[in-house]
C-alpha cells in the first residue's frame, strides 16, 4: 500500500490550468448530482422500492378482486398515487436534511460554496424525481388496467381528463417541495418527517371546527389539493390552493433557505 503520486495520478508536476481558466460547476450538473443523491443511498432506494411495492400490491389486489366499474384507468391511477402522496414528501425531506443530519454538507458545500445553487439544485432534482415517480405510477395504473382487460374481460375505460393529469402532476410537485421545505427548515430528518405529517393533520382536525371553516378552505393543504387531484379545479379552488401552498410550502421554504444559506456547516 505504498502510495505513488506520479504523472498519471497527479499533474502537480505538470503545468496546471490557470485559476481563471477553470469554469464553475454548471447548474445542470449540480441538479444531476442531487437527483442521484436522492436514490443512491440505502434509505432512498428503499423508499422507492417500498413505494413501488405498495403500488404493485394494490394493483395486483384490484386486478384479482376488483369489480369492472372499479377497474377503470382513473381508479387505478387513484390507488397507485396513494403511496406517493404519503412517501414523496419524505423523499424530499431526506434529500434536504441529509447534508446536515449525515453531515455530508461538509463535502457538498466545500465542493460548491455557493449554497443557494445547491439548494436550488435540490428543489429542481426533487421536482424531477417527483415527475419520474408520477410517470411510473401512470405506467403502473395502465399496466393494471391492461391486465384486467386481458384477464378478466373488463371493458377498457381509459377516459382521463387532462385536468386530472395536470392536477396530479402539480399535486405531486407540491408534495415533494413541501417535504424539501420542511426538511430545509428543520434540518433534522425525524423531526421534519413528524412535523410534515403532524402539522397539516392537526390543522385539518382543527379546521373541522365550524368557526374555522373559512380559514380551513383557504389554508388546509390536504383539502385544497383534493379538487386538484379530481380535476375539478375552479378559479376559487386555485386561489385556495395558492394560499395554502404559500403557507405550507412558502413559509417552510423561506425559513429553510435562510437557515441553509447562513448556518455554519459542522
Partner 1 sequence: MITVENLTKRYGSFTAVDDISFEVTPGSVVGFLGPNGAGKSTAMRMMTGLTPPTSGRSMILCRDYRQLPNPARHVGVMLDAAAQHPGRTGKEVLHLIGMTIDAPKARVEQSLDLVGLTPDEAKRRVRNYSLGMRQRLGLAGALMGDPQVLILDEPANGLDPQGIHWMRQLLRAYADQGGTVLLSSHLLHEVQIIADELVMIGRGKILAQGRKDDLLGAQGTRVGSLDNERLADAVRRAGLELTGDRTGLLVKAAPEAVGRIALEAGIVLTELHTTGSEGLEQLFLSLTAADARDAAAA
List of residues 6+ apart from 90 with CB closer than 8 A: 47, 179, 193, 196
Q: Does 107 bind partner 1 (CB under 8 A)?
A: yes
Q: Does 25 bind partner 1 (CB under 8 A)?
A: yes
Q: How many CB atoms lie within 10 A of CB 77?
A: 23
Q: Does 15 bind partner 1 (CB under 8 A)?
A: no
Q: Does 226 bind partner 1 (CB under 8 A)?
A: no
Instruction: Choose the binding region for partner 1 from 5-13, 79-87, 210-218, 246-254 (rule: CB under 8 A).
Output: 5-13
State in angstroms the smallest separation of the CB of 5 from partner 1.
5
Q: Which is nearer to partner 1, 106 or 208 (CB)?
A: 106
Q: Does 37 bind partner 1 (CB under 8 A)?
A: yes
Distance CA 188, CA 184 (A): 8
Residue 32: is it exposed, middle or buried by C-beta count within 10 angstroms (0-12/13-18/19+)? middle
CB 165 within 8 A of CB 230: no
Please calculate the CA angle 84-85-87 and round it to the nearest 5 degrees. Answer: 60
Q: Which is nearer to partner 1, 94 or 174 (CB)?
A: 94
Q: Does 30 bind partner 1 (CB under 8 A)?
A: yes
Q: Which is nearer to partner 1, 71 or 189 (CB)?
A: 189
Q: Which is nearer to partner 1, 35 or 244 (CB)?
A: 35
| Cell numbers describing residue 167 | 392536477
Q: How far is CA 127 from CA 13, 22, 38, 152, 178, in A?
A: 44, 30, 12, 37, 11
Q: Does 116 bind partner 1 (CB under 8 A)?
A: no
Q: Does 145 bind partner 1 (CB under 8 A)?
A: no
Q: Does 256 bind partner 1 (CB under 8 A)?
A: no
List of residues 6+ apart from 98 with CB closer than 8 A: 37, 41, 104, 189
Residues at the interface with partner 1 (CB under 8 A): 1-5, 8-13, 16-17, 19, 22-25, 29-30, 32-33, 36-37, 40-44, 98, 102-107, 109-114, 264-266
Amino acid at each position: 500500500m505504498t502510495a505513488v503520486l506520479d504523472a498519471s495520478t497527479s499533474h502537480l508536476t505538470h503545468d496546471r490550468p490557470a485559476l481563471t481558466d477553470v469554469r464553475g460547476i454548471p447548474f445542470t450538473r449540480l441538479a444531476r448530482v442531487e437527483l442521484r443523491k436522492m436514490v443512491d443511498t440505502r434509505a432512498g432506494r428503499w423508499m422507492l422500492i417500498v413505494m413501488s411495492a405498495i403500488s404493485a400490491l394494490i394493483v395486483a389486489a384490484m386486478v384479482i378482486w376488483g369489480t369492472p366499474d372499479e377497474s377503470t384507468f382513473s381508479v387505478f391511477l387513484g390507488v397507485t398515487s396513494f403511496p406517493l402522496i404519503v412517501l414523496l414528501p419524505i423523499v424530499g425531506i431526506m434529500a434536504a436534511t441529509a447534508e446536515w443530519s449525515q453531515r455530508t454538507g461538509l463535502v457538498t458545500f466545500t465542493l460548491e460554496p455557493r449554497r443557494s445553487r445547491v439548494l436550488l439544485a435540490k428543489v429542481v432534482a426533487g421536482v424531477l424525481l417527483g415527475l419520474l415517480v408520477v410517470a411510473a405510477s401512470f405506467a403502473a395504473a395502465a399496466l393494471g388496467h391492461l391486465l384486467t382487460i386481458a384477464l378478466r374481460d373488463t371493458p377498457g375505460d381509459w377516459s382521463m381528463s387532462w385536468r386530472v393529469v395536470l392536477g396530479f402532476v402539480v399535486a405531486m410537485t407540491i408534495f415533494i417541495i413541501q417535504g424539501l421545505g420542511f426538511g430545509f427548515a428543520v434540518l433534522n430528518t425525524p423531526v421534519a418527517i413528524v412535523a410534515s405529517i403532524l402539522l397539516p393533520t392537526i390543522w385539518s382536525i382543527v379546521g373541522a371546527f365550524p368557526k374555522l371553516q373559512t380559514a380551513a378552505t383557504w389554508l388546509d393543504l390536504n383539502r385544497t389539493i383534493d379538487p386538484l387531484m379530481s380535476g375539478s379545479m375552479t378559479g376559487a379552488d386555485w386561489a385556495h390552493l395558492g394560499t395554502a401552498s404559500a403557507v405550507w410550502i412558502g413559509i417552510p421554504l423561506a425559513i429553510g433557505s435562510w437557515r441553509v444559506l447562513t448556518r455554519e456547516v459542522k
